[in-house]
Amino acid sequence: MNLNKAMIIGNLTRDPELRSTPNGNSVASFSIATNLIWKDQAGQRQERVEYHNVVAWRRLADICGQYLHKGSKVYIEGRLQTRDWVGQDNVKRYRTEIVADNMIMLDRAGAGAAPMGGDEQPPAPNEEPVIDSGQAVGSDTNTDTDTNPQEDEIKVENIPF
């Protein structure tokens, strides 16, 4: 059995570059930075940044090109692939990329996101899910909900599991 799976969460280092192949398939390429932070033996904070090349194809490429921009926080799931080619200087070159199968935008809706045009709605992963506590607004158990109904909402990112 073989497994080739890559999952990363990070920020785009540049806007996606959207192109089309000669047969009409869309392809988007961009780079994502991830950070590793730790304390060394002396207790000093250390940080290492890794840069990952990402390629998305077809409809996912179109979505990346439309909704992602430099600084966007995303989750990318895909597989590792290494390409090789001979450069103009006749030197063989290699590039390892993540070929994206899935992308989830992790930025909050409207928080620095690029404006969207037309009647298109953002994909569902961009929406912030909210779990209702089940308490009716204006019930006798808590009169504060009339003035601030958001206090009764539990956000998914606050759930510890």
pLDDT digits (tens, 9 = 90+) for 54-111: 999 999 999 999 999 999 999 999 999 999 999 899 999 999 999 999 999 998 765 5
Provide φ and ψ at 43, rounded to 5°. Answer: 85, 10
Give the model's pLDDT for residue 35: 94
Q: Tell me, rounded to whole angstroms, the distance of Cα 87 from its chain centroid.
A: 32
Contact indicator for 126, 67 with CB cutoff of 8 Å:
yes
Kindly give the pairing relationship between strand 92-105 and strand 45-57: parallel
Q: Domain 6-126: give its CATH superfamily.
A: Nucleic acid-binding proteins (2.40.50.140)
Task: Tell me the HSE value of 158 on the side-chain side, using a 13 A CA sphere.
Answer: 9
pLDDT in tens, 115-157: 333 333 333 444 433 333 333 333 343 444 444 444 455 555 6
Rg of the chain on CA atoms, in Å: 21
Structural domain spans, the chain: 6-126, 129-161
Assigned token pair, 12:
């785009």
Contact indicator for 52, 8 with CB cutoff of 8 Å:
yes
Task: Tell me the HSE value of 155 on the side-chain side, using a 13 A CA sphere.
Answer: 7
Indicate the helix (H) or strand (E) that contains 60.
Answer: helix 58-67
Give the model's pLDDT for residue 126: 41
What average pLDDT does this structure show over 32-47?
A: 93
Contact indicator for 55, 97 with CB cutoff of 8 Å:
yes
80 DSSP assignment:
E
